[in-house]
Amino acid sequence: MNIIDVRNVFLTLGKTEILKDISVSFECGKIHGLIGRNGSGKTMLMKCICGFVKPNSGEITVDGKRVGKDCDFPQSMGVIIETPAFIPYYSGYKNLKLLAELRGKIGGEEIKNTMHRVGLAPEIKRPVRKYSLGMRQRLGLAQAIMENPDLLILDEPMNGLDKEGVQDMRQYLLDLKSQGKTILIASHSAEDIDTLCDTVCEMDKGKLQKVR
């Protein structure tokens, strides 16, 4: 069963063709990789799947609902795209609590447990502006997973992590897969892709082809 279906998607910004007739499906319960150089279209494809950018034509279905028609943003989805944005003078825990209150699905204990799972201490009052890049990435992952979504869209989630952090993140993503989660990940690291992914698609100049 496919959780994401992309059909004949075109996206043009100004006079630049960003996505050119993209058609691809991603199966439930697997880790799917997107590879390609900067500017190849990976991030824009992810933004279209999430409903952040509307393509000029084509159709994207997530979990049976058409993005932009049946829903603006797929419900059971966690997202890291580009550098996660947080209120810089609040702590990591306070940032996550504010975000959680928007939907009211989880409380403080779930947030604390999620922070521990990604290697952050929720009791530390340090403001996010004093976080390292790696800590921000961990906080971004906590934000993406804290409501226990079925689908994760992760654009370069290893950015800024040290070697130990990368190993922790890989293992954590494999654990999520074992729980039946579906993950779409973009990475510049061939090792990340080889270690994690069941399928791999390569993007180049707005076009996509399946590698495996």
Q: Which of 115, 197, 183 is nearest to 154 (CA)?
A: 183
Per-residue pLDDT at 83 exceeds 80: no
Q: Quick check: 120 and 139 in contact, CB under 8 A?
A: yes
3-state helix, strand, coil in the chain (%, to 5): 35, 30, 35
Average pLDDT of the segment spanning 160-176? 87
* pTM for this model (two decimals): 0.90
Contacts of 152 (CB under 8 A, 6+ apart): 77, 78, 79, 144, 145, 173, 176, 181, 182, 183, 184, 185
Average pLDDT of the segment spanning 10-37? 94
Average pLDDT of the segment spanning 53-63? 95
Per-residue pLDDT at 82 exceeds 80: no
Average pLDDT of the segment spanning 60-66? 94
Average pLDDT of the segment spanning 45-51? 95
**The dihedral formed by the CA atoms of 97, 101, 103 and 109, expressed in degrees to the nearest 10:** 50
Domains and CATH numbers, the chain: 1-76+151-212 (3.40.50.300), 86-148 (no CATH)
- Digit-coded pLDDT (tens) for 123-137: 989 999 999 888 888
Q: Quick check: 205 and 18 in contact, CB under 8 A?
A: no
The CA distances from residue 1 to 50, 164, 209, in Å, are: 19, 34, 20
Average pLDDT of the segment spanning 170-188? 92
Per-residue pLDDT at 153 exceeds 90: yes
Tokens in use for 148? Answer: 């226990």
Strand partners, 185: 33, 154
Q: Checking DSSP bridges between strand 77-80 and strand 57-62, what pairing results, if any? A: unpaired
Per-residue pLDDT at 71 exceeds 90: no
Which pLDDT belongs to residue 10? 96
